[in-house]
Chain A
């Protein structure tokens, strides 16, 4: 499946990435190559393969992951905000986007 310059531009716009014209030209053939490489998987018949969820072995997957719903300590507001780029009155303040 060839990836066109328009495809690259659309994805870049969605991701808010600014690409130079030169980059638009370079990435098309590169991504086409990646998609072609991955398309070799179409040669495999997976119609009768059970979907797998996560990476646990059957032994691990059989183990229960539920636990008692008990209240435990939390890190608290002060600690949670320590790394915030712009905290204000106990909140994470973010730039206006609308």
Chain B
């Protein structure tokens, strides 16, 4: 069964790539070899034979990690990110690496060195970004789940634009070891899925303390799937009404109002919250993100790997 699922994903990824440009690498051979290993071992984890796509700034051994940039190009990292180790242990099969804005900097995926990702609902439109390839791969039905990274919206925004579930976990919830760093005090690896249940399952696998990442919190990982009972009676949901004005598209406004009604009917309590400093968030973000990016990206100097300039400046 899992072989068919994986083969379907690989074939769909290859066939649709000319239209969508969601994948920078599809690993047919490696994925099918992995399926064979799973079949022979007879082990069944939480994600048995589930195909998954990974943003091209997360290290998967044997595959490229270009970060959507020609500076890294066909760089092949010598190790797996911790989240990849955990996914593989749970039985997941990585089928490919997905397109993204260069070094995860962008919100439309037009800033990839390998061309923009198309939105599967309307290929004349952008996928959003920077994890646009992962969002599109899930929305187009190529894979049921994918990983991206979110510094200032790079999972949540493309998920929204592509109409899929996008989850940025709390800082410290999962390890960033093996994620190419952008702004270390904001970066988190996040999950794309077609169903909330699938996102819960994947988060349960990748969450938790990692000795390789000192910023992971040593707090227990709850059973996220078991928490999805369908009953939200008594849940209190905060709504920052002050942000619900200027620049808001009418369709978006209607959608949010609809969802508030749905939650209320399901028994949740909607509470107005004030975020008095929210107006300063973007200014603060652009100081922190750019300063941290400057120090993090200093390692791409062409000494140990990646592009090296022909001429050395005097």
Interface residues of A (CB under 8 A from B): 16, 34, 37-38, 40-41, 44, 54-57, 59-61, 63-65, 67, 75, 79-80, 82-86, 92, 94-97
Contact = CB atoms under 8 A, between A and B. Distances in A.
A44 B284 CA distance: 12
Contacts of A38: 283, 286-287
Contacts of B172: 55-57, 60
B214 interface: yes
B19 interface: no
B303 interface: yes
A55 B78 contact: no
Interface in B255-297: 277, 280, 283-284, 286-287
Nearest to A93: B303
B78 A75 contact: yes
B270 to A, nearest CB: 24
A44 B280 contact: yes
A16 B301 CA distance: 13
Contact of A16 (B75, B185, B217, B313): B313
Which interface class (under 10, 10 to 19, 20 to 34, 35 or more) fits B?
20 to 34
A85 B308 contact: yes
Contacts of A56: 171-172, 215, 217
A45 B304 CA distance: 45
B308 A63 contact: no
Contacts, number: 76
B4 interface: no
A60 B170 CA distance: 10
B215 A75 contact: no
B171 A55 contact: yes
A84 B302 CA distance: 8
Interface of B: 75-76, 78-79, 170-172, 184-186, 209, 211, 214-215, 217-219, 277, 280, 283-284, 286-287, 302-308, 312-313
6 contacts: A55-B215, A56-B171, A57-B170, A80-B304, A92-B303, A94-B303
A83 B76 contact: yes
Contact of A60 (B211, B217, B286, B312): B217
Contacts of B303: 92, 94
A41 B284 contact: yes
B21 to A, nearest CB: 25
- The 8 lowest CB-CB distance pairs between A and B, nearest first, are A60-B217, A63-B218, A83-B305, A60-B172, A65-B214, A55-B171, A55-B185, A16-B313
Contacts of B305: 83-85
B312 A63 contact: no
Given A38-B287, A55-B186, A57-B172, A82 B218 contact: no
Given A16-B313, A38-B287, A54-B185, A63 B217 contact: yes
A3 to B, nearest CB: 15
